[in-house]
Amino acid sequence: MSVSITTHDACVDFPIFDAKTRSLKKAFLGKAGGAIDRTSSDVVIVEALRDITMNLKDGDRVGLVGHNGAGKSTLLRLLSGIYEPTRGSAQVRGRVAPVFDLGVGMDPEISGYENIIIRGLFLGQTRKQMLAKMDEIADFTELGDYLDMPLRTYSTGMRVRVAMGVVTSIDPEILLLDEGIGAVDAEFMKKARIRLQELVKRSGILVFASHSNEFLAQLCDRAMWIDHGRIRQEGGIEEVVRAYEGDDAGDHVATILKELERDAGVEPAERPRDGSGE
């Protein structure tokens, strides 16, 4: 069975009961990203996603851009099956690995080694599979004897190392990734990004929500701009980022893409640089 994601006019609504005050209504409007409608005197409807239509197939690498609360994370949760569409349809074929919160599926009272297994089970792996990957994951985290200690003794950055080690060890058919990996040192982040790139190569479909244009350019080949719960624009990464953030951001993405092409041995389209024709 080939992997695919197909949605047609998919909507996700959240009813908020007893939301009678204007301040509460305003708070939800600011956080939810979608529109708000009042169906009765007691029920406020937050329209978190509206009319989402997308068709993704094996090999697609899509980045989601948009302001906080625009609906990116809600869309990932729709695609993972956490949310059902209120209206419209959403059909996902393939084994999904949802990576939304690196801390989900981890227990502060047990050791790092035990958390590696639990986190792997949360992502659909078996205990046997996680035991086979244990040494490799432990080496990646560089935490040494700390892995024998309870997770509550770890710093935030150490917890991210454990979670990242597990996440990047799996082989998903569909990878739904919500960026949340800023709490580690720069040197380890370089190492983590290399592993994430390898993970993406092993994935059938990637949908990646991120505020890092550099990261999007490295992992994705096209983008969607989510705005107030709708797909406002989709296309190439440079095109979408330019529309969303302006020309400076678009130029920056263009530079990143050229550097990636050069590093991969692909000749850039624009040349020669000096315009001389030589």
What percent of the chain lies above the pLDDT cut of 70?
Answer: 83
In tens, the pLDDT along 49-107 reads 999 999 999 999 999 999 988 999 999 999 999 899 999 999 999 988 887 777 677 89
Q: How confident is the model at residue 25 (pLDDT cuts 50, 70, 90)?
A: low
Q: Is 268 helix (H, G, I), strand (E, B) or coil?
A: coil
Written as six digits, the tokens of 45 are: 């409807």
Strands, E, within the chain: which ranges? Answer: 4-17, 35-38, 43-57, 61-65, 87-93, 96-99, 174-178, 205-209, 222-227, 230-235
Question: 130 pLDDT exceeds 80?
Answer: yes
* CA dist., res. 89 & res. 204, Å (int): 21
pTM of the model: 0.79
- Please state the φ and ψ torsions of residue 192, each to the nearest 5 degrees: -65, -40
In tens, the pLDDT along 146-170 reads 999 999 999 988 888 898 899 889 8
The mean pLDDT value for 165-192 works out to 79
Residues 6+ apart with CB under 8 A from 89: 6, 7, 8, 9, 10
Q: How confident is the model at residue 222 (pLDDT cuts 50, 70, 90)?
A: very high
> How would you classify the pairing of strands 230-235 and 174-178?
unpaired
